[in-house]
Amino acid sequence: GAVVSQHPSRVICKSGTSVKIECRSLDFQATTMFWYRQFPKQSLMLMATSNEGSKATYEQGVEKDKFLINHASLTLSTLTVTSAHPEDSSFYICSASGPYEQYFGPGTRLTVT
Amino acid sequence: DAKTTQPPSMDCAEGRAANLPCNHSTISGNEYVYWYRQIHSQGPQYIIHGLKNNETNEMASLIITEDRKSSTLILPHATLRDTAVYYCIVRSPSGGGADGLTFGKGTHLIIQP
């Protein structure tokens, strides 16, 4: 199946700093990518839809100025958590759309101290 | 997308078939049934999907009732590595992966040695 990578897999940052997470589709081109967030013992929640060459679409309740998404190419989308706070600590997962299904990355564990 | 209902947890003995049920009584005519699973601290993995016919691939079988209001995912010979949370998702194809997925709480399948 198609492969989606994320980098970094794990990051610890201080409160108030910004963190960038990369999502790459390694063997196919993805016009659309998605960003999800998962808190402990909870299910994945869709944060935003990232479209190549256009602005991302954010789900209700997700601050677009805090979670900056850039989808500059058909194989790369980035999520930047700006001015991170401890409550932003979570597991961030991206996915890329294929013809029939979505392919998920391995996730990035963000811890804000 | 139609809502799904799954048991919160199930146990299965290693080597036996694991049968995971899903109710989707409000499914529409053009909506597919998708199954994903998430092993702890990893991104979700696509398993199988179907519209109305039973489907089988190298991972599992999907049995959809004739009225399409419920389905069962079958792992024919469960192994310890199949321990994961299994998500049943109903969605219209809309170009395959153009929309983000709505994850319910899923079923935590525990394979017992």
Q: How far apart are CA B17 and CA B21, in angstroms?
A: 13
How do A90-97 and A102-104 pair as beta strands? antiparallel
Task: Say whether B100 and A34 touch across the interface (CB within 8 A).
Answer: yes
Q: Tell me: the pLDDT tens digits for A37-81?
A: 999 999 999 999 998 888 899 999 999 999 999 988 889 999 999
Per-residue pLDDT at B25 exceeds 70: yes
CA torsion sign for A56, A59, A64, A67 is: negative
pLDDT at A51: 87
Say which range, A40-54, A81-95, B67-81, has the weakest mean pLDDT: A40-54
Q: How far apart are CA B11 and CA B108, in angstroms?
A: 8
Can you state the percent helix, strand and coil of chain A, rounding each to 5?
Answer: 5, 55, 45
Q: How far apart are CA A37 and CA B12, in angstroms?
A: 29
From residue A16, alpha-carbon distances to A29, A79, A91 in Å are 34, 16, 18
Beta bridge partners of B108: B9, B85
Q: Which residues of A touch B39 (CB under 8 A)?
A: none
Six-digit token string for A15? 């409160």
Six-digit token string for A50? 């990232």
Per-residue pLDDT at A2 exceeds 90: no
Q: How close A49 gets to chain B, by Cα (Å)?
A: 7
| pLDDT, average across residues A7-12 | 97
| Mutation site for B-interface testing, chosen from A21, A37, A44, A58 by largest number of B Cβ within 10 Å | A44
More confident residue, B66 or A31: B66
Q: Tell me: the pLDDT tens digits for A16-38?
A: 999 999 999 998 888 899 999 99
| Mutation site for A-interface testing, chosen from B31, B40, B42 by largest number of A Cβ within 10 Å | B42
Q: Is A92 on the interface with B (CB under 8 A)?
A: no
Six-digit token string for A105? 């990355």
Task: Say whether A45 and B106 touch across the interface (CB within 8 A).
Answer: no
